[in-house]
Chain A
Amino acid sequence: QVQLVESGGGVVQPGRSLRLSCAASGFTFSSYGMHWVRQAPGKGLEWVAIISSDGSNKFYADSVKGRFTISRDNSKNTLYLQMNSLRAEDTAVYYCANENYYGSGSYLDYWGQGTLVTVSS
């Protein structure tokens, strides 16, 4: 069965950096695009970034562009999110999700349980 397990969250001061990881199992990781999605406390879902299966294509939400970097290591079945210049508004639960495809469209399929990032002095 598909499993996605995020780690690396915690409390960090504004302006500092943090790297999240997402360990994948139960599917052929190297064949699928992967996403990061976040949810601020009491708020809705906000898409953060996507990386293609081979890592060659990446897209970001405007709110994180230039500060966050998505990457992957297909040999380790692991997805990463490097977060720099963190701000209070980046405080959220961060989820990873795999992309799946049907017809001409795609969708975020399985989601991890999330890891909480709190940016506070």
Chain B
Amino acid sequence: QSVLTQPPSASGTPGQRVTISCSGSSSNIGGTTVNWYQQLPGTAPKLLIYSNNQRPSGVPDRFSGSKSGTSASLAISGLQSEDEADYYCAAWDNSLNAWVFGGGTKLTVL
């Protein structure tokens, strides 16, 4: 059972907009920033969004992040087949003194 809760799966058709939620508590998301990672099949995770809504250079602006209270969301607009991957949220938990990850969301492009 992960400290951060994500839906196990999400799907959409090419061109659609999909959102992935990440729910936590006041000791993690509610008290610090949230980061998102993309893991393509068979590869290492890659930073997608940091500090709630910042995109590293090279990440398309189709990807956006937001945070409200103890929840965060990742939105992908103009869905493409190459976006098919696992997506994870992560944050520092100041009660556990540990980094915590969501269980991951498998995105399928139909």
Contact of A102 among B51, B96, B104 (CB under 8 A): B51
Ranked nearest first, the 8 interchain pairs of A and B with the lowest CB-CB distance are A105-B33, A47-B99, A44-B104, A107-B50, A107-B35, A102-B51, A111-B44, A45-B101
Q: 29 A-B residue contacts at CB 8 Å?
A: A35-B99, A44-B86, A44-B101, A44-B102, A44-B104, A45-B37, A45-B39, A45-B45, A45-B88, A45-B101, A47-B90, A47-B100, A50-B99, A59-B98, A95-B45, A102-B33, A102-B50, A102-B54, A104-B33, A105-B50, A105-B51, A106-B33, A107-B47, A107-B50, A107-B90, A108-B47, A109-B50, A110-B47, A114-B44
Among A59, A106, A110: residue with most chain B CB under 10 A: A106
Q: Residues of B contacting A111 with CB < 8 Å? A: 44-47
Contact B44 A105 (CB under 8 A): no
Q: Residues of A contacting B39 with CB < 8 Å? A: 45
Shortest C-beta distance, B27 to chain A (Å), equals 14
Q: Residues of A contacting B33 with CB < 8 Å? A: 102-107
- Number of A interface residues at 8 Å Cβ cutoff, please give it: 26
Complex CA distance for A2 and B51, rounded to whole angstroms: 20
Complex CA distance for A37 and B88, rounded to whole angstroms: 13
Contact A59 B88 (CB under 8 A): no
Interface residues of B in 31-65 (CB under 8 A from A): 32-33, 35, 37, 39, 44-47, 50-51, 54, 56
Interface of B with A (CB < 8 Å)?
2, 32-33, 35, 37, 39, 44-47, 50-51, 54, 56, 86, 88, 90, 92, 96-104
Main secondary structure of the interface of A (DSSP, over half): strand
Given A44-B101, A47-B99: A107 touches B46 (CB 8 Å cut-off): no
Shortest C-beta distance, B92 to chain A (Å), equals 7
Residue A46 at the chain B interface, CB threshold 8 Å: yes
Q: Residues of B contacting A35 with CB < 8 Å? A: 99
Interface residues of A in 92-121 (CB under 8 A from B): 95, 100, 102-114
Q: Residues of B contacting A11 with CB < 8 Å? A: none
Shortest C-beta distance, A99 to chain B (Å), equals 9
Residue A61 at the chain B interface, CB threshold 8 Å: yes
